[in-house]
């Protein structure tokens, strides 16, 4: 972890993650042990809900070749049964099982309940392991469990408040669209465009355009804005009537009379006649003819 990354975690939060920083492994050597994998329970507050099987198999192959380079982080369980609860490193733990390992190197550290989700969340964010829905749900859980404001949470995890607010808004999406986002069928930008469309049918239509036609976020936003425009009397116009042969004849006669381009535009029983002029003198000439 770089100094820049540590600064982004917010004041005091770097201390929570000090145990998972490989630069501090020597200082924590007394707390590192090879632990039986079957004695480690998963973190119930793990923010990541899905792990790509192909990615996990790739990590397992790497572990077969080189072993687990960075220890996982665990905390002792409160029952005193020499068992542990995973705090960070679920992918490494599961990949080690796939690789056929019985033990895994782990840093043992007493972690408070209130810090459990925050550490798991930060560890995943630093590794880009969370999709947008997993991150949104984790932020929402932190806000509810600890009573943080979005501003407080932003300072603790090194994110802009607007970033957190935009992610939490994604939880307003219907379940099927949340699933699309979790599976990367749509991007967070597409999802925010979908949120602005309140009509369920139009929202589905836009979703299909995004997934099937692969339209960009800009195009999705433009489509959503167009769908929100109210239908006004100005936008609903009667269709122009087809110009008849008689009207064409009348149009030609007017062109001869006024010696300029003339267009007759019928619209039902109404319509308009347009005359063009090309200079101030031409306008005065037409005006004089019209008032006679």
Q: For strands 72-76 and 103-108, give the pairing.
A: parallel
Chain-centroid distance of CA 47 in Å reads 17
Q: List the one residue out of 28, 20, 89 whose CA is nearest residue 59.
A: 89
Q: Which of 90, 118, 123, 135 is catalytic?
A: 90
Sequence-ordered list of residues with C-beta below 8 angstroms from that of 131, at least 6 positions apart, any chain? 50, 181, 182, 184
DSSP annotation string for 27-71: TTGGGEEEEEGGGEEPPTT-S-----HHHHHHHHHHHHHH--SS-
Helix boundaries (H) for the chain = 3-8, 13-17, 53-66, 90-98, 113-126, 132-146, 150-157, 161-169, 175-182, 188-195, 200-213, 217-228, 245-258, 280-291
Q: How far apart are CA 166 and CA 153, in angstroms?
A: 14
Q: How many Å apart are CA 51 and CA 72, to the nearest integer?
A: 17
90 is catalytic: yes
Give the pairing type, strands 32-36 and 72-76. unpaired
Per this entry, what is the length of the chain?
A: 292
Find out whether 88 and 72 touch, Cβ atoms under 8 Å. yes
Catalytically active residues are 90
């Amino acid at each position: 972890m770089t100094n820049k990354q540590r600064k982004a975690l917010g004041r005091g939060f770097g201390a929570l993650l000090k145990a998972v920083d490989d630069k501090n492994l020597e200082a924590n050597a007394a707390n590192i042990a090879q632990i039986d994998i079957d004695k480690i329970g998963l973190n119930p507050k793990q923010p990541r809900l899905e792990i790509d099987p192909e990615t996990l198999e790739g990590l397992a192959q790497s572990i077969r070749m080189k072993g687990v380079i960075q220890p996982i982080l665990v905390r002792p369980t409160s029952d005193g049964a020499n068992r542990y609860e995973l705090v960070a490193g679920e992918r490494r733990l599961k990949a080690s099982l796939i690789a056929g390992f019985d033990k895994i190197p782990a840093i043992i550290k007493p972690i408070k309940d209130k810090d459990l989700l925050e550490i798991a969340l930060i560890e995943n964010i630093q590794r880009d392991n969370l999709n947008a829905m997993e991150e949104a749900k984790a932020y929402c859980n932190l806000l509810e469990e600890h009573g943080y404001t979005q501003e407080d949470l932003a300072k603790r995890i090194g994110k802009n408040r607007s970033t957190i607010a935009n992610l939490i808004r994604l939880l307003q999406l219907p379940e099927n669209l949340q699933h699309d986002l979790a599976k990367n069928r749509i991007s967070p930008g597409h999802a925010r465009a979908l949120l602005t469309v309140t009509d369920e049918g139009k929202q589905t239509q836009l979703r299909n355009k995004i997934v099937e036609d692969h339209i960009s976020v800009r195009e999705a936003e433009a489509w959503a804005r167009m769908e929100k425009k109210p239908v006004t009397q100005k936008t609903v116009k009667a269709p122009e009537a087809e110009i008849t042969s008689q009207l064409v004849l009348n149009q030609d006669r007017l062109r001869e009379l006024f010696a300029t381009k003339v267009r007759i535009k019928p619209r039902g029983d109404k319509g308009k006649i347009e005359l063009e002029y090309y200079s101030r003198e031409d306008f005065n000439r037409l005006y004089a003819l019209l008032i006679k």
